C-alpha cells in the first residue's frame, strides 16, 4: 500500500498521461487498504486474516463522452495500457451533457482540516486475539448464555488520493479498529442470539472488551421466551442502534440522482417541513475521529457541516456534479465514489440532534407499544415511502419496557413517520449515523 505522498504522485501521473493521450479532461482515484482480523470461538483461536489491496481508477472525458476503468497494477506500462483503453472507450461512449469534473473554482485549496482519523498504530495480531477472547469470555460468563458464535477484533489502515486535470491533487489516510461478540442464550428452538459491536478510528476510543461482551450476553438473555403482541396501530420506539436506519432512508431520498430520476418520496419537498417541528439533522464530515470524516469529497470539493433538516424543514439535496448539472444546481461536496464508475452522493457522519426528554419520559405515557431493538428485511419503497420491516424487541406496557417480543412487523409510511417522530435526549456518537431513542406514534404492528 502506498503512502499518501506516493498515492498523490501516482494519481497525478495517471491524469497527466491521460491528457497526453487525447483526453479533454480526466480524474484518477487511488484507494489502498490493509487490515488484520482475528476470530475466536469458545475460547480458541479460529482464524487470523491479513488482507492488503490497492487499486487506481481513471475516468476520462472526450468532449461530452466519458469512460472509466481501474487496475491494481501500478507500473508505468500498466498505466499506459489503462490510458489507451479508457480513452478509446470514451470515444465510443454515448454523450452525456451533464457529466464532468467539478468546477475549478470550487475545488478545495489550502491545508487539509485536522480530522484526527489516523492514530498511527499498527495491527498487532496477539493483542487482537486477547481483545477478542476477553470479549467472548465476558459474554459467555453472563448467566443464561449457552453458546457462542464467536468474537472478533480487527485493525485497518486506508489511504485515498484524488487528482483531476483541473489541478487538484490531494490525499489522506485513516485507521480503524473494531471489536464484536455474538452469543446465544437458551436451548433448542427457544434459543436467542444477540451481539455487541464497536468501531472507532483510534484504539483508545474502543469499548473495553469486557464491557462489550457483557452487553452482548445480557442482550441475548433478555430476548428469551418472547411473546407476540396483539396487532393494531400503536407507538413504536426505536433503539438508537436500529433507529439510525430511518436517516439512511432520508439520505436515499434526497440524493441528487434520485431527485433527477424522480424516484424519491420527497420529490418537490425542498424547503418544506418534512419532519416534526424542532427536528434537526446534521451531516458533519469534519467531526474529529468520525468514522466517515473526510477533508474533501470524491470530486475534490471541500467538505463542510450541512444542516439537512433544520427544525423540520428540508434544506438541501446532496449532489455530485452530474446530478447538480442536471438539476441546474451546484454540487454540495457530498460526492462519493470507488475506483470505477462515476461518482454518486452520500452523507458522512450523520446525526439527529437530541430532544428534551429522557427515554423513560418518552415512553411513560405509552399504554401498549413496541420497543424495537432489531429490524429484519429491507421492506422500504424509496419512491412511495412505504415502510414495512420485520422486528424484534420488547413490549411497552403502561410506560414500562417489559417482555421480549419476536416475529412482529412494523409498518407505516416514512412521510408520516418523519412527521410523527419524537427524539429522546440520549444521543451518543457510536456509529456513522447516530440518533437518540426515537418514538413514532401511529405505526401498524402485526403480531399474534
What is the C-alpha to C-alpha distance for residues 358 and 217, in angstroms, rounded to an integer? 25
Task: List 313's β-bridge partners, or say none.
Answer: 273, 310
As a whole number of angstroms, the distance between CA 182 and CA 391 comes to 19
Domain finish residue from 220, 248, 266: 220
Q: Are residues 392 and 308 in the same domain?
A: yes
Hey, what's the cell of 219?
A: 442482550
Of the candidates 308, 311, 348, the residue with the CA atom closest to the CA atom of residue 432: 348
pLDDT computed for residue 200 by the predictor: 98
Inter-residue long-range contacts of 81-85, CB under 8 Å, 24+ positions, other chains counted: 82/14, 82/58, 83/14, 83/17, 83/18, 83/21, 83/23, 83/58, 84/21
Please write the tens of the pLDDT for every residue from 8-56: 999 999 999 999 999 999 999 999 999 999 999 999 999 999 999 999 9
The domain tally of the chain equals: 2
Question: Residue 325: in which H helix or E strand, if any?
Answer: helix 321-327
Q: Which string of b and e fits 296-316 if b means at least 16 CB within 10 Å?
A: bbbbbbbbeebebbeebbbeb
Of the chain, the percentage scoring pLDDT greater than 70 comes to: 100
Query: In angstroms, how far is CA 425 from the centroid of its own chain?
Result: 22
pLDDT over 90 at 230, yes or no = no
Both 238 and 336 in one domain: the answer is yes
CB proximity list for 220: less than 8 A, separation 6 or greater? 139, 142, 144, 145, 183, 184, 185, 192, 193, 194
* Distance, C-alpha 130 to centroid of its chain: 28
Looking at 201, 220, 239, which one is the last position of a domain? 220
The string over 388-397, giving b where at least 16 C-beta atoms fall within 10 Å of a residue's C-beta and e elsewhere, is: bbbbbbbbbe
Q: Which domain holds residue 438?
A: 226-448
Q: Are residues 383 and 326 in the same domain?
A: yes
Looking at the structure, tell me whether residues 370 and 386 fall in a common domain.
Answer: yes
Q: How far apart are the first and last CA of the chain?
A: 54
Is residue 124 within 8 Å of residue 50, measured between CB atoms?
no
Q: Give the model's pLDDT for residue 189.
A: 87
Could you read off the pLDDT of 297-324 as tens digits, one per residue?
A: 999 999 999 999 999 999 999 999 999 9
Query: Which of 185, 201, 220 is a domain's end point?
Result: 220
Residue 202 has pLDDT above 80, yes or no: yes
Question: Do residues 70 and 120 share a domain?
Answer: yes
pLDDT at 137: 98
Distance CA 99, CA 121 (A): 40
Which CATH number characterizes residue 44's domain? 3.30.2290.10
* In a shared domain, residues 291 and 420: yes
Q: What's the rounded Cα separation, in Å, for the pair 11 and 79?
A: 10
Summarised one tens digit per residue, pLDDT across range 91-140 is 999 999 999 999 999 999 999 999 999 999 989 999 999 999 999 999 99
Identify the bridge partners of residue 50 per DSSP, sorted by sequence position.
Answer: 36
Measured between alpha carbons, how far is 306 from 117 in angstroms, rounded to an integer?
Answer: 20
Percent of the chain with pLDDT over 90: 96
pLDDT number for residue 447 = 81
Per-residue cell: 235 = 407507538
- Same domain, residue pair 235 and 102: no
- Determine the Cα–Cα distance for residues 229 and 49; give it in Å rounded to an integer: 43
CA 66/CA 58 separation, integer angstroms = 10
Q: Is residue 448 very low, low, confident or very high in pLDDT (cuts 50, 70, 90)?
A: low
Distance between CA atoms of 258 and 50, rounded to whole angstroms? 38
Query: Would you tell me the crossing angle of helices 209-222 and 125-140 to the nearest 10 degrees?
Result: 30
Average pLDDT, integer, range 398-426: 97
**Cα 14 from Cα 289, distance rounded (Å):** 31
Give the global pTM: 0.95
> What's the chain's Rg over C-alpha atoms?
24
Q: Are 2 and 66 in contact (CB under 8 A)?
A: no
Laid out side by side, the sheet with 433-434 consists of 313-314, 306-310, 281-283, 350-352, 433-434
CA distance 84 to 78: 10
Cα angle for residues 242, 243, 248 (degrees, 5° grid): 95
Task: Supply the mean pLDDT for the chain.
Answer: 96
Q: Does residue 128 share a domain with residue 39?
A: yes
- Whether residue 298 sits in one domain with residue 200: no
Kindly indicate the confidence band of residue 201, based on its pLDDT and cuts at 50, 70 and 90: very high
Residues 203 and 297 in one domain: no
Whole-Å CA distances, 130 to 45, 125, 136, 209: 10, 9, 10, 9
50 shares its domain with 167? yes
**405 and 319, same structural domain?**
yes
Amino acid at each position: 500500500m502506498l503512502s499518501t505522498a506516493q498515492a498523490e504522485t501516482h494519481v497525478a501521473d495517471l491524469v497527466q498521461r491521460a491528457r497526453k493521450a487525447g483526453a479533454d479532461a480526466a480524474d484518477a482515484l487511488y484507494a489502498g487498504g490493509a487490515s488484520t482480523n482475528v476470530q475466536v470461538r469458545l475460547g480458541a483461536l479460529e482464524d487470523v486474516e491479513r488482507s492488503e489491496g490497492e487499486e487506481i481508477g481513471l475516468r476520462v472525458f472526450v468532449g461530452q463522452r466519458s469512460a472509466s476503468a481501474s487496475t491494481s497494477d501500478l507500473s508505468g506500462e500498466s498505466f499506459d495500457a489503462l490510458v489507451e483503453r479508457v480513452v478509446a472507450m470514451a470515444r465510443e461512449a454515448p454523450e452525456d451533457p451533464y457529466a464532468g469534473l467539478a468546477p475549478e473554482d470550487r475545488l478545495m485549496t489550502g491545508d487539509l482540516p485536522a480530522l484526527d482519523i489516523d492514530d498511527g498504530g499498527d495491527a498487532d495480531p496477539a493483542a487482537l486475539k486477547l481483545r477478542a477472547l476477553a470479549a467472548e469470555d465476558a459474554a459467555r460468563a453472563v448467566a443464561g448464555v449457552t453458546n457462542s458464535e464467536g468474537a472478533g477484533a480487527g485493525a485497518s489502515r486506508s489511504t485515498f488520493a484524488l487528482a483531476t486535470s483541473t489541478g487538484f491533487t490531494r490525499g489522506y489516510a485513516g485507521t480503524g479498529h473494531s471489536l464484536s461478540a455474538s452469543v446465544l442464550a437458551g436451548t433448542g428452538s427457544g434459543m436467542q442470539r444477540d451481539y455487541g459491536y464497536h468501531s472507532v478510528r483510534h484504539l483508545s476510543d474502543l469499548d473495553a472488551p469486557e464491557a462489550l461482551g457483557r452487553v452482548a450476553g445480557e442482550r441475548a438473555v433478555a430476548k428469551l421466551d418472547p411473546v407476540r403482541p396483539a396487532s393494531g396501530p400503536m407507538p413504536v420506539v426505536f433503539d438508537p442502534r436500529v433507529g439510525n436506519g430511518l436517516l439512511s432512508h432520508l439520505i436515499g431520498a434526497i440524493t441528487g440522482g434520485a431527485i433527477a430520476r424522480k424516484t424519491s418520496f420527497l420529490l418537490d419537498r425542498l424547503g418544506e417541513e418534512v419532519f416534526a417541528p424542532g427536528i434537526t439533522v446534521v451531516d458533519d464530515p469534519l467531526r474529529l475521529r468520525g468514522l466517515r470524516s473526510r477533508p474533501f469529497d470524491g470530486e475534490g470539493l471541500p467538505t463542510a457541516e450541512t444542516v439537512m433538516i433544520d427544525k423540520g424543514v428540508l434544506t438541501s439535496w446532496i449532489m455530485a456534479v452530474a446530478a447538480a448539472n442536471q438539476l441546474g444546481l451546484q454540487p454540495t461536496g457530498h460526492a462519493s465514489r470507488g475506483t470505477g464508475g462515476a461518482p454518486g452522493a452520500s452523507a458522512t457522519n450523520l446525526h439527529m440532534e437530541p430532544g428534551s426528554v429522557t427515554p423513560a419520559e418518552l415512553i411513560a405515557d405509552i399504554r401498549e407499544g413496541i420497543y424495537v431493538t432489531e429490524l429484519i428485511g429491507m421492506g422500504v419503497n424509496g419512491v412511495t415511502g412505504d415502510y414495512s420491516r420485520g422486528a424484534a424487541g420488547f413490549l411497552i406496557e403502561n410506560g414500562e419496557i417489559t417482555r421480549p417480543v419476536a416475529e412482529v412487523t412494523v409498518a407505516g409510511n416514512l412521510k408520516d413517520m418523519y412527521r410523527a417522530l419524537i427524539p429522546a435526549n440520549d444521543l451518543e456518537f457510536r456509529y456513522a449515523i447516530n440518533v437518540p431513542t426515537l418514538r413514532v406514534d401511529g405505526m401498524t404492528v402485526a403480531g399474534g
